[in-house]
Amino acid sequence: MLCFPNAKINLGLNIISKRPDGYHNIETVFCPVGLSDILEFVVEPDLPDGNVVFTATGIPVDGPEEKNLCVMAYRLLHKDFGLPALHIHLHKIIPPGAGLGGGSSDAAFMLKSLNTRFQLHGDEDTLCNYASMLGSDCAFFILNRPLFGYERGNKFRELASFPSSCEVVVINPGIHIGTAEAYGSVIPGNPVHSILELITLPVTQWRNRLVNDFESGMVSKYPVIGEIIEKLYAAGAAYAAMSGSGSSVFGLFNQKAPDVKAQFPGFFYWSGPLNPAF
């Protein structure tokens, strides 16, 4: 079975408070974008149930096989449903450690694809519960539409309105930022205005209002992130910001995004509609 796990960007991200379980309460708007990995699995009839052969191409996937989120998603469902052995192949296109949710998306799409292929009859709530066991933002990719995320980023609320006509440019300078590094630069606190309020404003009014709490600390440490943001504004972006914990930066354009790839030599570059249909 073949699927295409897509990336996301965060429109604003507030770190509200540290939780007793060690995670943080946040608020953000998750939005899917069409940048995608390629994930495929086939049944391995010659291997005992519960076995996995995992291979990967594209951007190198770090860490041992058993820690890969696709394999962990399979193990989670195998424990409850006794799935047959699989060969899983991941072609990695979404940069890792980039604030784009690539690993979380791979895990969520693995859950959804296993659910479909083996007719497990899991509904959205059930799949979201499984996904939340794998990572805080994994559940978003089960739903995979623009949503307000809160608590650990695994609870969601529908949006009253959303700018559906923008194009987005995503740029990654090749800096891998770990979650612990990003959170170490932030002091949690309640925002002056909720992202739910700010997201209803025209996109041209988001600058300096809709903020990512990770951004200032990461720009101080990695000035190139701030330089990318300023170049996107200079190119006509209505709004530009860092996504998630970084280091990826996106720019939103009210009309067709200009081809600014030449301004970012050596950087990962992607552009497309803000809210594609999945």
Q: Is 8 in the active site?
A: yes
Q: Provide CB contacts within 8 A for 256, sequence distance 6+.
A: 167
Which member of 37, 106, 137, 213 is catalytic? 137
Question: In order of start, what are the domains of the chain with their CATH numbers?
Answer: 2-157 (3.30.230.10), 167-273 (3.30.70.890)
CA atoms within 13 A on the CB side of 9: 29
Q: What is the pLDDT of residue 278?
A: 63
Per 3-state DSSP, what percentage of the chain is helix, strand, and coil (rounded to 5)? 30, 30, 40
* Partners of 150 in beta bridges: 27, 155
Q: What is the pLDDT of residue 48?
A: 94
Coil/strand/helix, residue 210: coil
Short-list 126, 120, 121, CA closest to 142: 126
Does the CA dihedral 70-72-76-81 come out positive or negative? positive
Q: What is the pLDDT of residue 111?
A: 98
Q: What is the pLDDT of residue 187?
A: 86
Q: Is 67 in the active site?
A: no
pLDDT in tens, the chain (278 residues): 999 999 999 999 999 998 988 888 999 999 999 999 999 999 999 999 999 999 999 999 888 888 899 999 999 999 999 999 999 999 999 999 899 999 999 999 999 999 999 999 999 999 999 999 999 899 999 999 999 999 999 999 999 888 878 899 999 999 988 888 888 888 898 888 889 999 999 999 999 999 999 999 999 999 999 999 999 999 999 999 999 998 999 999 988 888 899 999 999 999 998 877 66
Which member of 8, 92, 112, 213 is catalytic? 8
